[in-house]
Amino acid sequence: MLIGSWRCPSSNGCDVYLDPRSVYPEQAVTCAWAVEPPHWTLADATHYAETIRPKIRRRVREYLELVGPMAWIELIGPIVRVSV
């Protein structure tokens, strides 16, 4: 299920999908990027770290109904690894 779409300063963007039925947390969240890392500009990487990643964390918590902060969400290529 699509949980959000975000754009970087360069117009690169991602659609983020969540599969709450996934057995493995690292496979539960997937980012579909127009231009995948590591081919980002510094401005895009900074925007991702400071703006997009916190929004993804918040949205995942909302959909999974988690209380409190998530341990981490890490960008690995086009995939976001989630640890709860």
pLDDT tens for 28-54 read 888 888 887 778 889 998 998 899 988
Q: How far apart are CA 59 and CA 21, in angstroms?
A: 16
CA dihedral of residues 58, 63, 64, 67 (deg, nearest 10): 50
Model confidence, pTM: 0.70
Mean pLDDT of 18-35: 79
